[in-house]
Amino acid sequence: MGGLIDGFGVVLEPANLLYCLIGVVIGMLIGVLPGLGPAATIAILLPITYGVEPVSAIIMLAGIFYGAQYGGTITSVLLRLPGEASSVVTVFDGYALAKQGRAGTALGIAAIGSFIGGTVSIIGLTLLAPVVAGVALDFGPPEYAALSLFGVLLVATVGNGSRLKAVIAAGLGLLLATVGRDTFTGASRFTFDSLNLADGIDFVPIAMGLFGLGEILYNLEERHHKVQAPVAVANAWPSRADLRQSRGAIARGSVIGFVLGVLPGGGATLSSLVAYAVEKRRAKEPERFGRGAVEGVAAPETANNAAATSSFIPLLTLGIPANATMALMFGALLIQGIAPGPQLVSEHPDLFWGVINSMYLGNILLLIMSIPLVGVFVKILKVRPAVLAPITVLITLLGVYTVANQVFDMFLVIVFGVLGYLMKKFGFEPGPLVLAFVLGSVMETAVRQSLLIFGGNPMGFFTRPISGTVLVALIVVLALPGVRLLVRRRKEKERV
Residues between 76 and 135 with contacts to another protein, criterion CB under 8 A? none
Q: Which residues have CB under 8 Å from 456's CB, separation 6+?
A: none
DSSP state of 108: H
164 or 187, CB closer to another protein? 187
Q: Per residue in 283-317, is it b (16+ CB within 10 Å) or e — as a string?
A: beeeebbbebbbbbbbbbbbbbbbbbbbbbbbbbb
How far is residue 474 from each of residues 83, 167, 403, measured CA to CA in Å? Answer: 30, 17, 36
Give me the least distance between CB of 462 and another protein, in Å please: 16
Q: Are strands 180-181 and 188-189 parallel, antiparallel or unpaired?
A: antiparallel
| Residue count, binding to another protein (CB under 8 A) | 76
Q: Per residue in 440-452, is it b (16+ CB within 10 Å) or e — as a string?
A: bbbbbbbbbbbbe
Phi, psi (5° rounding) for residue 343?
-95, 5
226-265 residues near another protein, rule: CB under 8 A: 264-265
Instruction: Please answer whether residues 83 and 34 qualify as being in contact, where contact means their C-beta atoms are separated by less than 8 angstroms.
Output: yes
d(CA 143, CA 452): 14
Q: Per residue in 339-371, is it b (16+ CB within 10 Å) or e — as a string?
A: ebbeebbeebbebbbbbbbbbbbbbebbbebbe
Instruction: Please answer whether residues 322 and 264 qualify as being in contact, where contact means their C-beta atoms are separated by less than 8 angstroms.
Output: yes
- Asked if 386 is part of the footprint of another protein (rule: CB under 8 A), the reply reads no
Interface mask toward another protein for 450-489; x: CB under 8 A? --xx-x----------------------------------
- Asked if 216 is part of the footprint of another protein (rule: CB under 8 A), the reply reads no
When binding is defined by CB under 8 A, the residue of 12, 15, 127, 383 that contacts another protein is 383
Give me the least distance between CB of 148 and another protein, in Å please: 14
Give me the least distance between CB of 333 and another protein, in Å please: 9
When binding is defined by CB under 8 A, the residue of 123, 153, 406, 411 that contacts another protein is 406
182 or 222, CB closer to another protein? 182
312-371 residues near another protein, rule: CB under 8 A: 314, 318-322, 324-325, 327-328, 330-331, 334-335, 337, 339-343
Give me the least distance between CB of 60 and another protein, in Å please: 16
Give me the least distance between CB of 337 and another protein, in Å please: 7
When binding is defined by CB under 8 A, the residue of 380, 414, 415, 474 that contacts another protein is 380
When binding is defined by CB under 8 A, the residue of 10, 11, 20, 32 that contacts another protein is 32
Phi, psi (5° rounding) for residue 33?
-80, 120
17 or 398, CB closer to another protein? 398
When binding is defined by CB under 8 A, the residue of 345, 404, 418, 474 that contacts another protein is 404
55 or 298, CB closer to another protein? 55
Instruction: Please answer whether residues 348 and 202 qualify as being in contact, where contact means their C-beta atoms are separated by less than 8 angstroms.
Output: no
Give me the least distance between CB of 203 and another protein, in Å please: 13
Q: Which stretch in 118-126, 193-201, 245-253, 276-284 sits in contact with another protein by CB under 8 A?
A: 193-201
Q: Which stretch in 117-125, 178-186, 303-311, 364-372 sits in contact with another protein by CB under 8 A?
A: 178-186
d(CA 146, CA 148): 6
d(CA 323, CA 142): 20
Give me the least distance between CB of 18 and another protein, in Å please: 22
Q: Which stretch in 7-15, 101-109, 196-204, 480-488 sits in contact with another protein by CB under 8 A?
A: 196-204
Q: Which residue in 487, 443, 380, 307 sits closest to 74, CA to CA?
A: 380
When binding is defined by CB under 8 A, the residue of 394, 475, 476, 487 that contacts another protein is 394
